[in-house]
Amino acid sequence: MINLELSKPLQDQKAMMQGVAAQLLRPISRKYDQQEHAVPEELKVLDRRPRPSQKPPAAKDGEAKKERAEKPPKKKPEGVVNGSNMSTCVTVEEMCWGDVGLMLSLPGAGLGNAAISAVATPEQKARFGSYYAAMAITEPASGSDSASIGATARLEGDEWVLNGEKIFVTAGGRCDAVVVWATLDKSKGKAAIKSFVVPKGTPGMEVAKLEHKLGIRASDTATIMLTDCRIPKDNVLGSAEVQEGDKRAAFGKVMQTFDNTRPTVAAMAIGCSRAALERTIELYKAEGIEVDFDKPLWEMSALEAELVRMEADWEGARLLVLRAAWMADNGEPNSMEASMAKAKAGRVGNAITLRCVELCGALGYGQDELIEKWARDSKILDIFEGTQQIQQLIVARRQLNLSSDQLK
């Protein structure tokens, strides 16, 4: 049975992460908002990636299979499981209470790492395990419909040759490698879309520009050009075979990672909006206006009632995030719930931060407080990892039991 109360270990983790956010991220938040594209040197203390001397020896696929066969299977825990998804959401919420852009700048925590984890062979996981990997999906003519990408990959001897343009690549300038989505044959649709690991510095891959943005300015967002970019044959994640209709193909597996990462982005919105709401309540309390959440709405002032409604909306979004993460940890299909959490939290998070700017007047609009920054940061959380409209479309498909071809 689902229990949305955090366990004691998760409560301890939450408190620790809030301490990191308060002591490390908040003090440098404004600095890196103003110094867009500067690398946050202070975050290097959080880099826990294995160094070359720490890398595990790369095992051949055959040896890895033999090793797995000899190991006794792990016993599935009984009862409720709070695993990596719930832990990640708790961590991300607290870090984004500190600063969303800086959280996205943490070294070694790129979206490409999730793709490697989902699709790579054991040998590839060992080889790419220490990379800080970005994900390159979006193109100028391919946004929300990931299946329509036009970047190409063709095999020439022992090398893949990649061509295309990728935009809005988070951490594209700072990462060690980029996981590039490209098609082997446009006529074969989704089945021909594969993901390729392209290490930074590979000839033919160029970081063409870094975007100037409304929010999350501490995080770099790159445009990447691929011009006859050659990578080794075994840098394609998983199998290079095109198996039409096979839901287990690389495209399907990577798409399934969004069922885990969308609640994470929703948790970002929860953390950012909580920061704005808490600070607004603190500022009003300092002026002698304190909200009594035990009073009925009709006995409250308009301002108090507004803050209570915002708190209720925030709590509803938070519970959706916890449910989606819990389902992922407990092996339950959560595609619809992940989209519901992302849609609700993205919309509510942006609405709360903007309303806090209005309620705080000059303090909300000026740079003496971080409220205006949180409002700017929150907008992207309703857009990336699938826009509000795409999330609603996914939910509708699940509710109506229709395919992506039947409901567009």
**What positions carry a catalytic annotation?**
385
Which DSSP category does 56 fall into? P
Tokens of 86: 């719930």
Which amino acid, one-letter code, is at 290? E
- 245, burial (CB in 10 Å: exposed 0-12, middle 13-18, buried 19+): exposed
Bridge partner residues of 181 (DSSP): 195
List the beta strands (DSSP E) in 200-315. 205-210, 221-232
22-38 as b/e: b if 16+ CB within 10 A: eebbbebbeebbeebbe
Q: Is 286 strand, coil or helix? A: helix
264-301 as b/e: b if 16+ CB within 10 A: bbbbbbbbbbbbbbebbbebbeeeeeebeeeeeeeebe
Would you state the torsion angle of the CA atoms of residues 273, 278, 280, 285, taken in this order, to the nearest 10 degrees?
170
Q: What's the full length of the chain, in residues? A: 408
Which amino acid, one-letter code, is at 175? C
- 2, 82 in Cβ contact below 8 A? no
- Residue the block writes with tokens 């509510």: 348
- Residue the block writes with tokens 């309620």: 359
- 92, 267 in Cβ contact below 8 A? yes
What whole-number distance in Å separates Cα of residue 300 and Cα of residue 71? 63
Q: Is 144 strand, coil or helix? A: coil
Strands 133-136 and 177-183: parallel
